[in-house]
Amino acid sequence: MFENPDKEMKIIITSRHASLTEGLRTHIEDKIHRVEKYLGKIRETHVILNFEKRRHLCEINLYGKSLKLASVGSSHDMYQSIDQALDKLERQVLKVKDKRVGRYREGKQAKARSIVHHVLSPVEEGEESVVVRSRKHAVKPMTTEEAALQLSASRDEFLVFSNADTGKTNVVYKRKDGHIGLIEPEY
C-alpha cells in the first residue's frame, strides 16, 4: 500500500498478489491528476490493483466533496487496465461536471426569463398598456458633460436633465458599445 502525503489529494494505492512498481505508481498518479482538473479538489482516491492468473484488475474509488465515483478496468496488462478504469472514471467526472454547469446555467437563465417575463409581459389585443412603476426626479440644470459623468458613475441606464446651455430637457443614456448617447428634442 502506498500513500502520497506530498500532494493535496490523498492517493492510496493497494496492490494485491504482486508488489507495486515505481512505474505503475507514477502512471497512476499522472493519470489521476488528469481527472482532478475537471472537478477541482478531490479529497481521496483509492486504487486497488489485483493481479490474477489471466487478467489484471484495476479498481478506482474517487471521493470528493459530496461525490463518490467508482470504476473498474480489466485486461491482460495492468497498464491497460489502469487506462481503461481511468477512462471510465473520466467519463463519469465529465458527466458530473456537465450536470453542475448545466444546473448553474439553467438557474441563471430561468431567473433572467422570469425577470424579463414580469417586466416585459406582452400586452394582449384589446388590453391597454398600464404604467407599472413610476418615479419622480427633479430635473437638474447641468451641462452635457456633467450629465455624462454623473451617468457613468451611477448604475442607471439613462439620466434626464435640463441642459444648462439650451434650457431644454435632454436625456443621456448608456449605449451597448460602452459609449454614452444624448437625446435632444426639436421644438
Residues 110 and 145 in one domain: no
Identify whether residues 22 and 100 lie together within a single domain.
yes
Q: What is the pLDDT of residue 61?
A: 92
Average pLDDT value for residue range 33-58: 84
Is 135 inside a domain boundary? no
pLDDT tens digits for range 111-163: 555 554 444 455 566 667 666 676 777 788 899 999 999 888 888 888 899 99
Q: What is the mean pLDDT of residues 60-71?
A: 87
Q: Are both 105 and 156 inside the same structural domain?
A: no
pLDDT tens track for 15-26? 888 888 898 999
Name the residue range of residue 168's domain: 141-183
Query: What does the pLDDT average to over 45-57?
Result: 90
| Claim to verify: residue 109 and residue 159 sit in the same structural domain | no
Question: What is the reported pLDDT for 186?
Answer: 81
Assign residue 157 the CATH number of its domain: 3.30.505.50
Same domain? 6 vs 75:
yes
Q: What is the pLDDT of residue 172?
A: 92
Contacts of 12-21 with CB under 8 Å at 24 or more apart are 12/44, 12/45, 12/46, 12/47, 13/47, 13/49, 14/46, 14/47, 14/48, 14/49, 15/49, 15/51, 16/48, 16/49, 16/50, 16/51, 17/50, 17/51, 17/52, 18/49, 18/51, 20/49
Say yes or no: 66 and 25 in one domain: yes
CATH number for position 28: 3.30.160.100
Is residue 133 a part of any domain in this protein? Answer: no
- pLDDT score for 107: 63
In a domain, 60, yes or no: yes
More confident residue, 171 or 127: 171
Using one digit for the tens of pLDDT, what is the confidence trace for 77-116?
Answer: 989 999 999 999 888 888 888 887 776 666 666 555 555 4
Round the average pLDDT of the chain to a whole number and report it: 80
92, three cell numbers: 463519469
User: What pLDDT was estimated at residue 42?
Assistant: 78
Model pLDDT, residue 110: 58
| Number of domains, the chain | 2
